[in-house]
Amino acid sequence: MSLTGTGALVDAARDAGRGVGAFNVITVEHAEGIVAGGELAGAPVILQISQNAVRYHGGRAEPLAAACARLAETAGVPVALHLDHVDDLDLLHRAADAGFGSVMYDASRLGYADNVAATRSAADWSHANGLWIEAELGEVGGKDGVHSPTARTKPAEAAEYVSGTGVDALAVAVGSSHAMTVKSARLDIGLIDEIRAAVPVPLVLHGSSGVLDDDLRQAVAAGLTKINVGTQLNVAFTAAVRDALADPGLTDPRRYLRPARDGVAAAVAGILRTVSGG
Ligand code: G3H
Ligand code: ZN
């Protein structure tokens, strides 16, 4: 099948009281492993390419996005394609043509009023161009190696933000932090309940790699729907490469990329079983 819309997967998960996994793609092997993980768990997946990953590919989003779209055609589960953590308007404006069905516009570093104004404008543009859009309020830290586990989204401000910007989903700060390589973050489940009651759109958890499985389950039950995971896949990928490269005679990249891809698939399947009950 062809790509499914991110909004359709998120809405279906929310209606069913489940989470949907959104996984960061850096290489084609990541994308293949993520789709394989979805097939192992029998659950849909959102492939997401971040602005930083686009930079890694020399500023070209299109080739990797096209590979993801072609993978979706033969996948055994629904697959969506999302552009993650964008603040470059030129890239945002190329998203629909590159094949993305959705974007996360990241103005979370700005003050509240500037965040609302920039995100309103991005949301208007996205909707006019057929894109579902997510934005963030209450900066989830860790992107620069600085953890801010105490950052919190305020429920009343979140409600005002969603109506002021018109976004389709809201990323919230409830205790997670990006780029954690060990699962130790605890989520503020009571706050998730409060935001859920105040905000009409689906909620998104960033930095899910560092969150304990039981907290992920409770967070989904409390109303978090899109569960973003990146670092945990890279931990699995790199551990497999490191292990394979212990053989000094190894030269064929397939001999270390295959176990890396399998490691990603196993990690994705485990996360999906935790968040989607698959
Ligand atoms: O947007 C991507 C996610 O927030 C990934 O965070 O790498 O800490 O799992 P993570
Ligand atoms: Zn994130």
Q: What is the ipTM of this complex?
A: 0.99
pLDDT band at 1 (very low <50, low <70, confident <90, very high): confident
Confirm or reject: Cβ of 228 under 6 Å from ligand 1. Answer: yes
Active site residues: 84
Residue bearing the CA closest to ligand 1, atom 4: 206
Helix residue ranges, H only, 166-253: 189-198, 213-222, 231-244
Residue 95: pLDDT band with limits 50, 70, 90: very high
- Alpha carbon of 207 to ligand 2 centroid (Å): 6
What's the 229 CA to ligand 1 centre distance in angstroms? 5
Looking at 23-108, list the stretches that DSSP marks H as alpha helix, in order from N- to C-terminal side: 28-41, 51-56, 62-74, 89-98
Task: Burial-class residue 93 by CB neighbours within 10 Å (0-12, 13-18, 19+).
Answer: middle
Report pLDDT for 139: 79
177 lines ligand 1 (CB under 6 A): no
Which residue among 206, 211, 213, 264 has the greatest number of ligand 1 atoms within 8 angstroms of its CB, and so is best to mutate? 206
The domain locations on the chain are 6-276
pLDDT given for residue 149 in this prediction: 77
Q: Is the pTM of this model over 0.95?
A: yes
Residue 24 phi/psi, 5° resolution?
-80, 130
CATH for 6-276 is 3.20.20.70
User: Rounded to the nearest whole angstrom, what is the distance from the C-alpha of residue 250 to the centroid of ligand 1?
Assistant: 32
The 10s digit of each residue's pLDDT in 236-246 is: 999 999 999 99
Asked if residue 231 has its Cβ within 6 Å of ligand 1, the reply is: yes
Confidence at residue 138, expressed as pLDDT on a 0 to 100 scale:
84
Report CA-CA distances (Å) from 182 to 18, 26, 164, 179, 235: 24, 20, 36, 9, 9
